[in-house]
Chains A and B, each alone.
Chain A
Amino acid sequence: MGEVLVGALAHSPGMTGFPHRAQPDVGARALDAVGALRARIEAFDPDVVLGVSNDHFTSTSMRSLAPFAIGIGPRYDHPATERLVGFLGIPRRTVSGHPQLAQWLLRELLRHDIDVTSMSGRFGFDENFSVPIHLLGLADKPFMPLIVNAVQHPMPSPRRCVEVGVRIGDALRRQTLATRVAVLATGGLSHSVGTPTAGRIDEEFDEMILGMLTSGRLDDLRDLDPTAITAAGNGAEEVRQWLVAAGVAAPGAVELIDYQPVPEWLSAVAVVCTPADRPA
């Protein structure tokens, strides 16, 4: 039986690539929250990490965009390109995958009518996973990426995201290939990239989502209006990752470590995790 810890945090490139642009006290508080999540993960000592995020057209393209895709490869480029090394300020290296568990999870989800596709071959990370892996000290842990389409409409519904999370949580608790699995959702919450509203943070939206997550209101998360998500910015579509995380944590809930808007990093840094004494 696998034990599962669930966490979620922003993956803003500003956290590693241009932290100095933030007001010093604001940026420091945001990174302290990430540090608190790192301490929880280190105490949990996972055997493997399942990362849940979108790809920003670094390793995927419009030629084929799956609603959900899991990496089943043996290794990943972290970050994917030299250009991203400069942008993110993260030295390049390889992160190991966990093909055995990823393949098992893929089969298990398909067996339960969750149509997830697989990714293999050369695959690299952008800020989606490289920022969290770097800040959380996870580069030496086996890592499985689950890519959620949060970059181009049509996207999976909130209901489907929660359902995928619930199925993943069930599967991970039943498997015997890893004793402890950390599930880490990254991205969001409200923000915009490449649009006229870049830099705008919708704190009311963020607080609504965080309220639902921390009180375990799964039905409210399932019933989120997709147009309300879109209205909070194209980056807010990444809330889908948080919905997957909420499904994994169910019937438990995550608790808020901190929430700190950082306009200079284009988003707030929200950080949540399942309680230290009660993994999901």
Chain B
Amino acid sequence: MTALGAPEADLSGIHDLLWSLRHDPALVDEFKAGPERILEQYAVDPLLHAAIATLDVRALYLAGVNPYLLFFGAIELGLTRDEYYRRISEGEADG
């Protein structure tokens, strides 16, 4: 269980996907066209599907996703730097 009491997700698939998004521009287009197939292909834990599909970076961060991979992957998927930090800081005491 995570610190928030949620079930722990397997992170290997999401890490592999986020890394690949940064290294394969064609994959970014494929993901945007149909994330379900790519999430399946990269064996991303179903617990994380909704969060990555909606770019809920805070949920992914709290699930333990590596912040470097998360930041780079989110930028590739179209989030601006400012929007990334706004989303990930939502609910922080001083965020």
Q: Complex Cα distance A195/B88, Å?
A: 7
Are the C-beta atoms of A62 and B15 separated by less than 8 Å?
yes
Please judge, given known A-B contacts A62-B15, A63-B16, whether A194 and B67 are in contact too, CB under 8 Å.
yes
- B26 CB → nearest A CB, Å: 14
Interface residues of B (CB under 8 A from A): 12, 15-16, 19, 22, 61, 66-72, 84-85, 88-89, 92, 95
- Minimum Cβ distance to chain A for residue B41 (Å): 16
**Closest CB-CB distance, B42 to chain A, in whole Å?**
12
Minimum CB distance partner of B25 in chain A? A83
Output the nearest chain B residue to A60 by Cβ-Cβ distance. B19
Contact yes or no, A57 B12, CB < 8 A: no
Q: How far is the CA of A194 from the CA of B92 in the complex (A)?
A: 14
How many A residues face the partner with a CB closer than 8 A? 14
Which residues of chain B have C-beta atoms less than 8 A from A62's C-beta?
Answer: 12, 15-16, 19, 66, 69
Minimum C-beta distance from A65 to chain B (A): 10
CA of A198 to CA of B68, assembled, Å: 12
Contact B70 A194 (CB under 8 A): yes
Residues of A whose CB lies within 8 Å of any CB of B are 56-57, 61-63, 151-152, 192-196, 198, 234
Cα A63 to Cα B16 with chains together (Å): 8
How many angstroms between the C-alpha atoms of A265 and B41 in the bound complex?
Answer: 37
Tell me, rounded to whole Å, the shortest Cβ–Cβ distance linking A96 to chain B.
24
- B16→A195 contact, CB < 8 A: no
Query: Distance in Å from the Cβ of A121 to the closest Cβ of chain B?
Result: 15
Q: In the complex, A194→B61 CA distance in Å? A: 9
